[in-house]
């Protein structure tokens, strides 16, 4: 089963301010340059995430063996992570498992534990979590490549202390598993010193491109998901993304169309899945697209301030909250519909009010047909309004097709970075906020940043109401 991309409604033949064939042709030199850069960087090991579909076999075996060893000892698998290490596991879980997984009795989860993802340091979060579960019946997965991520490591320190107080240091060792770098950073040092089980994130793979490493594979496997299937799907998409012909390479074409859209003032990328299973794909995509492409400087040091703002929506829910803006508001968006051909369940509307024309037409119709019809109708309305849009379709949401989709977005993001002439793999804007936090807490080595913060002008009380 192959993912499809329909970009007819991005073109001037379909929408009033769409992309012309001449605009596509004009970029042939840029396309060739970007194609070469993708090949060269991969060959040089600068896109190590592109090899993940082929080199995780050992990790898959180790993960599955560990799951079989541990799953019967625990009630819940708890992810301590932030950014990609939280968004990826949530997206995969929502896509491939029952939407109310944690509410199902264990036998309906085929003996697998519940999944919780703790991705924020709101002080109420952990307290209420401990009131919800038996915290000593959980396995805590600490995910941090550096081991210095303040949010994740603070959660870990709280949980480590709690476990040691409740079950003792020896028993606590078996309730913590780390996912981190093989050599450098605090977390690998701690894991080895404390005797925690650990899994390795390949050193050259960045956080938001790490879902197909143990970062995402371990939580998925603990919920019974076919992690090998995710990698098989990603490998299939990788083959499609090796095509030099832009018209045969879906991820490159997706990036190119968005790049041209940006030059035409389309600075917002709307992701609108028409399936609850794909709801959190929008959240995962938002980080990938925003953090990778939102940059102040290009590769030549020139100030460019580029990037598209990703917006997450859900069809049909947000037809009643956002589509009015998309249809009649500013011409500054590209809407991406994300649909499925076949849903996993079917439910039919009863013929209850046949005598009421405004309801009777629904009788005997399935929700499957209703949601698909609403997707098609919204696409029509948006297109009629002259707004750029495209549709990505999965034949069915499976491990393989989801692997295709995740990998597709990763390649598209990298290719968009090449077209924009930026580094899609760093995040200096994020680092500035991290460094300011460290300085405010007096972390050694950040004295200069602390002096900078202290020298900042005070806020004027006049403008505080």
Residues marked active site are found at: 291, 320, 434
Cα 49-415-388 angle, rounded to 5 deg: 130
Phi, psi of 187 (to 5 degrees): -70, -40
Rounded distance between C-alpha atoms, residue 326 and residue 329, angstroms: 6
Residues present in the chain in total: 465
Cα 128-130-133 angle, rounded to 5 deg: 110
Instruction: Please give the structure tokens belonging to residue 317.
Output: 């829910």
Residue listed under structure tokens 């063996």:
65
Q: Is 311:365 a contact under the CB 8 Å cutoff?
A: no
Rounded distance between C-alpha atoms, residue 348 and residue 340, angstroms: 18
CA 206 to chain centre: 13
Rounded distance between C-alpha atoms, residue 226 and residue 220, angstroms: 8
Where do runs of H (alpha helix) occur along 267-332?
Answer: 281-293, 323-328
Using DSSP's 3-state secondary structure scheme, residue 242 falls into: coil
Strand 295-297 relative to strand 303-306: parallel, antiparallel, unpaired?
antiparallel
DSSP strand E in 207-316: where? Answer: 268-273, 295-297, 303-306, 309-312
CA 42 to chain centre: 22
Rounded distance between C-alpha atoms, residue 144 and residue 153, angstroms: 8
Q: With 0-12 CB in 10 A as exposed, 13-18 as middle and 19+ as buried, what is 211?
A: buried
Rounded distance between C-alpha atoms, residue 26 and residue 22, angstroms: 6
Rounded distance between C-alpha atoms, residue 253 and residue 65, angstroms: 40
Residue listed under structure tokens 């030199």:
29
Instruction: Please give the structure tokens belonging to residue 427.
Output: 């995040």
């Amino acid at each position: 089963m192959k993912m499809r991309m329909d970009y007819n409604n991005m073109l001037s033949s379909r929408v009033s301010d769409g992309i012309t064939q001449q605009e596509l042709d004009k970029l042939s030199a840029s396309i060739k340059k970007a194609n070469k850069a993708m090949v060269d960087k991969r060959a040089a090991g600068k896109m190590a995430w592109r090899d993940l579909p082929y080199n995780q076999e050992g990790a898959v075996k180790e993960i599955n063996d560990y799951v079989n060893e541990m799953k019967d000892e625990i009630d819940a698998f708890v992810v301590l992570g932030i950014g990609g290490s939280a968004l990826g596991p949530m997206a995969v879980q929502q896509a491939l498992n029952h939407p109310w997984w944690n509410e199902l009795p264990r036998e309906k989860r085929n003996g697998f534990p519940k999944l919780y993802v703790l991705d924020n340091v709101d002080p109420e979060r952990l307290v209420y979590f401990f009131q919800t579960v038996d915290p000593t019946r959980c396995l805590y997965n600490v995910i941090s490549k550096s081991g210095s991520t303040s949010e994740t490591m603070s959660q870990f320190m709280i949980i480590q202390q709690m476990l040691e107080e409740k079950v003792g240091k020896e028993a606590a060792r078996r309730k913590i598993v780390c996912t981190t770098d093989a050599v450098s950073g605090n977390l690998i040092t701690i894991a080895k010193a404390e005797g925690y089980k650990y899994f390795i994130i390949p050193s050259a793979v960045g956080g938001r491109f790490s879902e197909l490493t143990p970062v995402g594979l371990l939580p998925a496997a603990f919920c019974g998901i076919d992690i090998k299937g995710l990698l098989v799907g990603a490998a299939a998409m990788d083959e499609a993304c090796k095509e030099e012909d832009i018209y045969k390479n879906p991820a490159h074409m997706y990036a190119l169309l968005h790049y041209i859209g940006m030059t035409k003032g389309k600075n917002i990328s709307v992701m609108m899945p028409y399936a609850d299973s794909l709801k959190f794909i929008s959240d995962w995509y938002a980080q990938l697209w925003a953090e990778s492409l939102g940059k102040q400087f290009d590769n030549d040091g020139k100030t460019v301030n580029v990037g598209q703002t990703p917006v997450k929506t859900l069809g049909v829910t947000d037809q009643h909250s956002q589509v009015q803006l998309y249809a009649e508001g500013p011409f500054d968006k590209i809407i991406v519909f994300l649909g499925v051909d076949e849903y996993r369940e079917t439910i039919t509307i009863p013929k209850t009010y046949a005598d009421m024309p405004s309801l009777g037409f629904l009788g005997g119709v399935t929700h499957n047909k209703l949601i698909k019809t609403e997707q098609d109708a919204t696409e029509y309305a948006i297109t009629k309004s002259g707004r750029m849009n495209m549709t990505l379709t999965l034949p069915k949401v499976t491990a393989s097709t989801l692997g295709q989709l995740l990998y597709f977005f990763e390649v598209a993001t990298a290719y968009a970075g090449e077209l924009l002439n930026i580094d899609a793999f760093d995040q200096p804007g994020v680092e500035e906020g991290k460094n300011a936090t460290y300085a405010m807490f007096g972390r050694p080595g950040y004295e200069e940043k602390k002096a900078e913060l202290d020298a900042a002008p005070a806020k004027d009380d006049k403008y505080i109401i």
